[in-house]
Amino acid sequence: AANYARHRHVLQQTSGERCRRQLSISASKLSVASASFGSFGQYNNFCGASNCIDGIKESRVHCRSGSSLCTSLAGHTNPWLQLDLGLTFAVQEVHVYNRLEACCTDRLGVHEIWVGSNPSNATAEGNALCGNDTASSTAISITHQCNGGSLPGRYVYLLEPGSGRVISLQEVEVFGSSLTVAPTTSGGITQAPVPRTRGFDGAHTLVCAIRVV
């Protein structure tokens, strides 16, 4: 049967007859259903994980009433923040907004973004590395493009590898597009699934039909 490689919404048969079509769909900001630090816990009730998806990109006081920061308990090994999109999407970009108070700008440092279907932890089976970077102490935000294309997944993780780490951020945004159902075969023709917008930028449909070889 035909195999398909997806890269930035390009569908290409990698064996047998060649057929390549591309969708012109720009990434749109996705709604995040919930956020959590897993078993690592939050610093206090004022700096919970949900603050990472509240839409506020500027710091509002430290971890006190009215804070817009999301901060985990300090001193953990490989702590992660999980964002649940509620459904599986083609995740293209993740924007991370650093905490900017003088006390904490260097906490983000080395970090990784993982995307996938496994809610257990960032590096569990079914999740894939979207990107990694080292944020400087002056970094306001970091943009991760998933391997230059997109990754399918319901869960998006920010992982800080190493010991004695603490997650302390201002905001995390996820960009991508929705996915169609799995490929179907009829009369010897396999119709590959294509990403499709969900009312974000209008309805786009483009199908690359490839005869099974």
- For the segment 43-53, what is each residue's pLDDT rounded down to a tens digit? 877 788 998 89
Range of 62-71, 100-109, 135-144 with top mean pLDDT: 135-144
**Tell me, what amino acid is at 105?**
T
- Picking from 31, 29, 30, 26, the residue whose alpha carbon sits closest to that of residue 9 is 26
Q: Give yes or no for a contact between 155 and 118, defined as CB atoms under 8 angstroms apart.
A: yes
Q: Which distant-in-sequence residues (6+ apart) come within 8 Å of 6 by Cβ?
A: 149, 150
Examine the pLDDT at 3 and tell me if it is beyond 80.
Answer: no
188: left (phi over 0), alpha (psi -120 to 50) or beta: left
* Extents of the domains making up the chain: 4-211
pTM of the model: 0.71
CA distances from 98 to 22, 73, 107, 147 (A): 34, 17, 9, 22
Predicted confidence (pLDDT) per residue in 153-206, tens digit:
999 999 999 999 999 999 999 999 988 545 555 555 544 444 433 322 333 222
Cα separation, 109 vs 167, in Å, equals 10
pLDDT attached to residue 114: 98
Our CA dihedral for 150, 155, 156, 160, rounded to 10 degrees, sits at: -130
Homologous superfamily (CATH) for 4-211: Galactose-binding domain-like (2.60.120.260)
